[in-house]
Amino acid sequence: MSRWVLVLCLALAALPARAAEVAGVKFADALDAAPGATLVLNGAGIRKRAFFDVYAMGLYLGSKKTAAAEVLALAGPKRVSIVMLRDVGADQFADALADGVRANHGEAEAKALDGRLQQLVSIMTQMKEAKKGMRIELDWVPGAGTRISIEGKPAAAPIAGEDFFRGLLRIWLGEQPVSGDLKKALLGGGA
């Protein structure tokens, strides 16, 4: 009997992973980031504020990592995929991103990121409102920078510097994350 259980367990382990679903939003288990580069879903969760679900988020990496330091040190392309679960003013959304960056950096680090952070804020405020269902993707593209896409369309020229993308990741994975539960979920620990 135990032999059949082992065979069944091995067969189930060989099945492809299913896409994650968070608050009705499906995140693919893998995606093509660039020719020859596949990213895997590291984790997905919900950003809550008070009693409200604000957005669902998936983190894609070249290989799965369970520690924030590993994610921040990982070379290669990465993606943060955000799907809005409610309407939020673009100014409010942009300010929350900026506050998250500043909360996770010392004064000198924050100052070094400030000009590029203002580029991001400008891009986000141009969309006027982050509407429910809107997909916002932040991609680290080695050699190009941080590419921001809204609804699959590039929002502006990439923002330079891998340190900038790491700064964005710290919003969710830093010492002062916007949500401890979301950080845990993005690191594969469940929602």
Q: What is the pLDDT of residues 44-92, one digit of tens each?
A: 999 998 889 999 999 999 999 999 999 999 999 999 999 999 999 988 9
Other CB atoms within 10 A of residue 173 CB: 22
What global pTM score does this model have?
Answer: 0.86
Please give the pLDDT value at position 36: 75
* 4 has a pLDDT exceeding 50: no
9 within domain boundaries: no
Interval 146-183: pLDDT, tens: 999 999 999 989 999 999 999 999 999 999 999 999 99
Sequence letter at residue 116: R
**Domain span including residue 184:** 25-189
| pLDDT band for position 17 (cuts 50, 70, 90) | very low
Please give the pLDDT value at position 189: 80
- CA torsion, ordered 26, 32, 33, 34, to nearest 10 deg: -160
Is residue 91 within 8 A of residue 162, CB to CB? The reply is no
Please give the pLDDT value at position 18: 54
Residues linked to residue 64 through DSSP beta bridges, in sequence order? none
Is residue 24 within 8 A of residue 83, CB to CB? The reply is no
| pLDDT band for position 1 (cuts 50, 70, 90) | very low
* 2 has a pLDDT exceeding 60: no
133 within domain boundaries: yes
Please give the pLDDT value at position 27: 96
Sequence letter at residue 86: R
50 within domain boundaries: yes
Please give the pLDDT value at position 52: 92
For Cα atoms 167, 125, 93, give the angle at the middle one, nearest 5 degrees: 55
Interval 119-154: pLDDT, tens: 998 988 888 888 999 999 999 999 999 999 999 999
CATH assignment at residue 62: 3.50.70.10
Q: How far apart are CA 56 and CA 127, in angstroms?
A: 19
Q: How many domains does the chain have?
A: 1
Please give the pLDDT value at position 11: 38
